[in-house]
Structure 1
Amino acid sequence: MVAVADVLLSLLAGGVAGVVAGLFGVGGGIIMVPILHYGLGLPFHLATMVSLGVITVNTPFGLHKQHERRNVRWKRGVFLGLGGAIGVLLGVWVWARVPDATLVPILKSVFALLLLYAAWRMTGHEPTMHDIENDALLIPAGIVAGLAANLLGIGGGLLMVPVLVFTGTVIHHAVATSLVAVFTNAALSTAIGFPVLVHHLLFALPIAIGAIFGIRGGVRLANALKAERLRRVFALGLVLIGIGIVVDAVGILW
């Protein structure tokens, strides 16, 4: 039986994750997984599955809002999503062969370093950008994001948005376009893990409800910010999340 306090915590977590998802073009799993794992006591692998299920449900709402504003660059999103699908399948293969205790700290440390590097690149007044002629070159970035999505229970947008910006995409369009691949990554991971996830829907439902409302607000906030400010806010978010992941990975707090 799920306690009322757990339901309220799940609703709050979903709402916050939804705002973060809409604001930054990410899935929100970076908020949900720690709360599910540490706050509600779910095993890490199960927490990632619940998070990805919620991302699958709430991301289309944010994507629809961004599409209405003509911010989505669908071709780039599709190539990122294609790479993401490959990364997700690679993640499934890794999960089956490497114990959580060995894999998770290493993966978190590498992921955190990538986030901190991306934040450093984005803090300049005008980050160095190299426009690419062939959008298929985004597939490798999608693979890395898909791998992170499956193993950490996130959408992968924290990696994809900086890549899109560095390859010539305006920040508002990058945030919107990232959601295409975020949905692809989460949906494929959820489909693969659904036989297990279906037994834990009581955890996923209140988070999903909160996230659906939150992501709408996040999209409005993202589009209200000027490009320079949105880029700096995103970079600050990457720094805070990266530091948090490092602390978690080395076990300072837990």
Structure 2
Amino acid sequence: MDFAFADLLPFIAIGFAAQLIDGALGMAFGVISSTLLISMGVQPKAASAGVHLVECFTTGVSGVSHALHRNIDLRLFARLVIPGVIGGVLGAYVLTQISAETARPLVLAYLSLIGLYLIWRGTGHPPRERDPRVIAPIGLVGGFLDAAGGGGWGAIVTSNLLIQGATPRKVIGTVSAAEFFLTVTISATFIAALGWEAFTHVTVGLLIGGVVAAPLGAFMAKRLRSNHLLLLVGIVLTATSAYGVFRALE
């Protein structure tokens, strides 16, 4: 790769902002980064591969940071990781063989509705906190859609655990930590199928910005109140999903 540092600066800024949001709210790095790459003309499967290579590092730093701030529920983590990895491998394989974009508008519309519900919860109607019951299927679907769509693990898993009443701080930290194992598996699958062609100066910039922001995101997740986390998750989820629907229907 031959490029100047100035070429990296816009992508460092984007990686920093995307990971700051992702670390604090448990979602959005993949969605923001993939949208950027695809808007630049990168093929969806190459964009997804590049983002997941970056996330191998950002999710590792984020997971350690969340662990240090005691934001992780180990029981929930154990129940998410294996289904998520299985779904991720299936999604990565599907994306290297066929286009999985057909169902994307429907998934994004569903996430927009979940986002609106979380906004309502965060503005004075917080759910009674309780242990979530549906975990493994959410992990499986989240892993599959994350690989097939270039992002979505946090949006699917975090939002669905929150509407079941799980503690926001623990959900965000646990989902972020589990994502490390998911992205490593997905990246290995992509590398086996595509090689290293997706690792460009764009992904290098995203990597630098994301790694720097990861500890700050975990700190924010610990400090923000539960109802504020619900509200912010709802806003980010609704905005990114609604934009995705608009782009998909253009």
TM-score (norm 2): 0.88
Matched, 1:154 2:151: yes
C-alpha displacement of 1:128: 4.3
Aligned match of 1:71: 71
Moved more, 52-61 or 197-206: 197-206
Residues 37-116 of structure 1 aligned to structure 2 (within 5 Å): 37-39=38-40, 41-98=41-98, 100=99, 103-104=100-101, 106-116=102-112
The answer on whether the counterparts of 1:55 and 1:155 sit within 8 Å (CA) in structure 2 is no
Of 157, 160, 165, the match for 1:168: 165
2:141 is aligned with 1:144: yes
Residue 87 of structure 1 deviates from its aligned partner by: 1.1
The amino acid of 1:26's aligned partner reads M
Report % sequence identity. 20
Unmatched segments (≥5 aa) in structure 2:
none
The answer for the alignment partner of 1:208 in structure 2 is: 207
Contact 2:129 2:167 in 1 (8 A): no
* Matched letter for residue 233 of structure 2: F
Mapped to 2, the partners of 1:50 and 1:95 lie a distance apart of 14
Whether the 8 Å CA contact 2:87–2:139 is kept in 1: the answer is yes
Structure-1 separation of matches of 2:108 and 2:128 = 22
RMSD: 2.2
Are 1:158 and 1:238, in contact at CA under 8 Å, matched by a contact in 2?
yes
8 Å contact 1:16–1:31 — kept in the other structure? no
Which residue number corresponds to residue 113 of structure 2?
117
Q: 1:197 to 1:179 in 2, by over 3 A?
A: farther
Equivalent residue, structure 2, for 1:24: 25
Contact kept, 8 Å, 1:155 with 1:182, in 2: the verdict is no
Q: Is the 8 A contact 2:25 2:233 kept in 1?
A: yes
Q: How many residues align?
A: 244
Superposition deviation, residue 8 in structure 1: 1.9
8 Å CA contact retained: 2:142, 2:156:
yes
In structure 1, stretches of 5+ residues that fail to align are: none
Write the distance in 2 (CA, Å) between the matches of 1:244 and 1:5.
29
Deviations 1:151-205 (A, max 9, x none): 1222501111122223332111111011133222211110111243523433322
Secondary structure at 1:198 match in 2: coil
